Amino acid sequence: MEITKRTIGININPDGGVDALIWAPKAEKVSLRICEGKIDLPMQKQDYGYWTLQTDQLKAGDLYRIVLDDEKFLPDPASLSQPKGVHEASQVIDLSFNWTDEHWRNWHLNEYIIYELHTGTFTPEGTFEGIESKLDYLKSLGINTIEIMPVAQFPGERNWGYDGVFPFAVQSSYGGTKALQQLVNAAHHKGIAVVLDVVYNHLGPEGNYFGEYGPFFTDKYNTPWGNAINFDDAWCDAVRQYYIENALMWFRDFHIDALRLDAVHAIKDFSPVHILAEIKQHVDQLMKETGREHHLIVECDLNDTRYINPLEKAGYGMDAQWVDEFHHALRVTAGGETTGYYEDFNGIEHLAKAYNDAYVYDGQYSEHRHKKFGVKATDHPDSQFIVFSQNHDQVGNRMLGERSSQLFSFEMQKLIAAATLTAPYIPMLFMGEEWSEPNPFLYFVSHTDAELAEAVRKGRKAEFAAFHTEGEAPDPMDEATFTQSKLQWQLQEQGEHAVMLAYYKKLIGLRKYLHVLTNPNRQQSKATADKAKQVLTLQRWFQGEYLVALMNFSNQVQQVTMPPTDKKWIKQLDSADPEWNGPTKADDEFQSEAVVDLQPQSVLIYCVG
């Protein structure tokens, strides 16, 4: 397998023609059809089910199809572009780009301050160009890393991205290949890293022609979203190559800084070398070739350190993971619901455990799962854990897609923001939370298959049938559902929204410029919960700096004693300050072990050193 160039699909070669490599082990005959003129070029059968062709009759921009056994005229599974949709012809794309980011250095993971966004709803334009127009804003906010939800081509123009069916093709309605490359190049010039969300655990239902080509799927396993991808059954070698090449392409040809791999617990693989470990091996080799640093981040709800253990310790080598448990404990502590997966979380004591141990469940019995769950992550660096108070899943999987702005008071929103940004882990924001965006983030699709669209519509209603008193689940197919999910940028300058934005800038500034916060380390951090008062005390220290964050999740004033120190405590942030629309202002300085009045639903941050 080539590290330095893409080999599968249709690729432009140095002579100006194309090299074609198609995997179709079930076919007796394979041809490449040039749509202009309806010219069919026979391909040559090779070992292991591959078919090849070199031709100068195809050039960048041309449309083509793959013809199987003279009767199936299909798009290319490794297509780089589907300009007319998922059922139509593929397009030849030249991946070369005039990069000008040669001086860019990817941030180390412990430096990341991540901002998750959805291309279609982040800006009025709903394009990569729209994101590019907001880079200066993001930089002024203090963000140094954006995470883009999946961009693989999906049916229609509206989708979260997890129904993609062409993992190599960049969604045409977002701007396509060149626009994404341009966005990454521009982001690097602004000092912003780019994380791309990719889906290697399933493929969407509409436009999914993989089964026509060969055994891309296996019936050995099931996933919640359909057929399991064949990573360890007969004929799996080509499938594994397909996804390894996909990861390499994003890093090599798009200069993406990190990939976020969706729901890797749904990837089933009993091979001697797990597919994630093999991807890591190839990415390591690519980094040696290019000298650029890339990260692999996973979403995983198993609390299993095999995923983030290094390869040399028989792990899968992933560099970091999302930690949903921090979110769950924080939401319950803030007064959120305690049903569903939240039933496992008792609030402030579990939040303290999340600060201290990363995993809340590291071997205890889980009532929700009806079994003992998790292992300890004691020796794992804190740069391996990403925490958040909101993300696309936790908002969008609610029936009405409510954000924290609709679920919690203004004061509580400020508190949970500070709880996330002072944690000894990598913080992540979800687009719009920084100005308390009131619009929901709903589940939306634009399937062109009427039968599938109706099935999705009915499925969404059935999922939330028990919530009928709250109204009907919004129709995912209705364009208004998508439009309602767009950010309202004009709110930034209005009332409480402007105050919240200024507050987030202050918080992120502290995160970036206080050494004690920019160096996540649980060995130099301690969280203590007072259940009776609903107060959490977070202490962090680093090279002579000492910080305490006092978080009052109750609705009453609570008296808290400052930790002992031989210096004065100097105030860094007071969420209850009238500057942030709070009720009163705390003292700028406190002596060691002074008793402090902590306002309801507020946070006080003080430092010495």
CB-count burial class (<10 Å; 0-12, 13-18, 19+) for 40: middle
What's the burial of 412, exposed, middle or buried (CB within 10 Å: 0-12/13-18/19+)?
buried
- What range defines the domain where residue 595 resides? 521-608
Read off the DSSP letter of residue 497.
H
From residue 450, alpha-carbon distances to 155, 211, 348, 489 in Å are 12, 21, 47, 34
> Of 404, 461, 465, whose CA–CA distance to 437 is shortest?
404
Query: Residue 185: its pLDDT value, please?
Result: 98
What is the SS3 assignment for 326-354? HHHHHHHHCCCCCCHHHHHCCCHHHHHHH
The answer to whether residue 403 is domain-embedded is: no
Percent of the chain with pLDDT over 70: 99
Cβ distance 67 to 73 under 8 Å? yes
SS3 at position 156: coil
Question: How many structural domains is the chain composed of?
Answer: 2
Tell me the C-alpha distance between 485 and 441, whole Å: 5
pLDDT of residue 451: 87
pLDDT of residue 527: 98
What is d(CA 461, CA 482) in angstroms, rounded to the nearest whole number? 17
pLDDT averaged over the chain?
A: 96
Domain boundary among 44, 63, 91: 91
Which position has the higher pLDDT, 471 or 490?
490
CATH code where residue 588 lies: 2.60.40.1180
Query: With 70 as the cut, is the pLDDT of residue 263 above it?
Result: yes
Which residues fall within 8 angstroms of residue 328, CB to CB, at 6 or more apart?
A: 341, 342, 344, 345, 350, 360
- When mean pLDDT is compared across 54-58, 290-294, 408-412, 453-457, the lowest value belongs to 453-457
Check whether 443 has a pLDDT greater than 80.
yes
Specify the pLDDT at position 224. Answer: 84
Does some domain include residue 565? yes
- The tokens for 495 are 């009332």
Is 48 inside any structural domain? yes
Q: Is pLDDT at 444 greater than 80 in this prediction?
A: yes
pLDDT tier, 469 (very low <50, low <70, confident <90, very high otherwise): low
- The answer to whether 48 and 39 have CB atoms below 8 angstroms apart is no
On whether residue 21 sits in a domain, the answer given is yes
Q: Where are the beta strands (DSSP E) in 109-163?
A: 114-117, 145-148, 152-153
Q: Is the whole model's pTM more than 0.85, yes or no?
A: yes
Supply the pLDDT for residue 166. 98
Task: Please check whether residue 184 lies inside any domain of the structure.
Answer: no
Q: For the domain that residue 87 is a member of, what is the CATH number?
A: 2.60.40.10
pLDDT in tens, 350-392: 999 999 999 999 999 999 999 999 999 999 999 999 999 999 9
Q: Are 182 and 132 in contact (CB under 8 A)?
A: yes
| Residue 466 binned pLDDT confidence (cut-offs 50, 70, 90) | low
User: Which amino acid appears at position 535 of this protein?
Assistant: V
AA identity, residue 321:
Q
The DSSP-derived string for 530-576 is: ETTTTEEEEEEEETTEEEEEEEE-SSS-EEEEPPP-SS-EEEEEETT
The whole-number pLDDT of residue 15 equals 86
pLDDT value of position 455: 84
Which tens digit of pLDDT belongs to each residue from 16-62? 899 999 999 999 999 999 999 999 999 999 999 999 999 999 999 99
Task: Return the SS3 of 506.
Answer: helix
Question: Which of 64, 91, 118 is a domain's end point?
Answer: 91
**Integer Cα distance of 280 and 316 in angstroms:** 7
Cβ atoms of residues 246 and 278 within 8 Å: no
Diameter over CA atoms, the chain: 84
**Is residue 464 scored above 80 in pLDDT?**
no
Q: Is residue 448 part of a domain?
A: no
Residue 131 falls inside a structural domain = no
Instruction: Output the CA angle 391-396-401, nearest 5 degrees.
Output: 115
| Positions marked active-site | 262, 299
Under the banding of pLDDT at 50, 70 and 90, the label for residue 465 is: low
3-state secondary structure of 116: strand
CB atoms within 10 A of CB 58: 21
Q: Is the dihedral of CA 597, 603, 604, 609 positive or negative?
A: positive
Number of Cα atoms under 13 Å in the Cβ half of residue 439: 21
As given in the structure block, the two tokens for residue 61 are: 């921009």
Is residue 589 in some structural domain?
yes
Residue 72 banded pLDDT, cuts 50, 70, 90: very high
Of 36, 61, 91, which closes a domain?
A: 91
